[in-house]
């Protein structure tokens, strides 16, 4: 009996079926790779955020009252300015929210009131110039700080307008017992919604 081979139509049908299965398998692998990349980006962003929160806490833990014109903690809506202890003197730290990113600048150790004021202005200027080395975290749409005075939380923002000069947090009581940080994440940042963290403020 003569063996019957495949017809051209059967071969074409088999090729179409195999091509369809290969395309479906490729789509599945591509979706898996994309999911993995998204998960990795989310993990990286979360780890970065935890580092930023740890730095905030470290800065707030060593606030120092200079007993001068520079407040130990000031917030104007766009800039959070801190005076903290450092080896060999005091240090000015400026956190700033600009164009969807958090930035951090710190001065060297200082010893005079004039140096503190000069370095505060220098820090604001450096942040305004968007030095990439100062970028701490991306993907923030908005932030707000609430200060704990007495037995209640209230907005930390000074009565002055937000700009490049941070005024006193509150003239009658410039040092709150606690600070509540509320961060709103931007779309596409890898994080969703908002985050609120309450930190104890200790002034030496």
| DSSP sequence for 58-109 | HHHHTB---SSSS-SEEE-SSEEEEEEEETTEEEEEEEEEETTEEEEEE---
DSSP 57: H
Q: From residue 84, how far is each of 7, 96, 109, 188, 190 by CA, in Å?
A: 84, 17, 10, 34, 32
Tens-digit pLDDT profile for residues 32-56: 777 777 777 788 888 989 999 999 8
Instruction: List Cβ neighbours of 203 (8 Å cut-off, separation of 6 or more).
Output: 63, 64, 65, 72, 73, 175
What is the tens place of the pLDDT at every residue in 40-96?
A: 778 888 898 999 999 988 888 888 887 766 788 888 888 999 998 888 889 999 999
- pTM greater than the 0.85 cutoff: no
């Amino acid at each position: 009996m003569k063996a019957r081979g495949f017809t051209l139509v059967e071969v074409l049908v088999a090729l179409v079926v195999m091509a369809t299965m290969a395309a479906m398998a490729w789509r599945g692998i591509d979706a898996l790779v994309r999911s993995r990349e998204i998960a990795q980006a989310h993990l990286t962003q979360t780890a970065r955020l935890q580092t930023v929160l740890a730095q905030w806490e470290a800065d707030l833990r060593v606030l120092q009252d200079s007993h001068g014109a520079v407040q130990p903690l000031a917030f104007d809506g766009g800039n959070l300015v801190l005076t903290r202890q450092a080896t060999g003197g005091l240090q000015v730290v400026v956190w700033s929210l600009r164009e969807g990113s958090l930035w951090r600048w710190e001065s060297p150790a200082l010893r005079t009131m004039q140096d503190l004021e000069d370095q505060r202005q220098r820090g604001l200027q450096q942040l305004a110039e968007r030095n990439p080395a100062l970028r701490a975290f991306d993907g923030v749409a908005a932030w707000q700080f609430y200060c704990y005075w007495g037995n209640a939380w209230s907005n930390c923002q000074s009565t002055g307008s937000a700009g490049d000069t941070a005024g006193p947090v509150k003239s009658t009581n410039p040092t709150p017992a606690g600070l509540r940080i509320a961060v709103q994440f931007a779309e596409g940042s890898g994080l969703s919604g908002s985050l609120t963290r309450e930190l104890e403020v200790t002034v030496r």
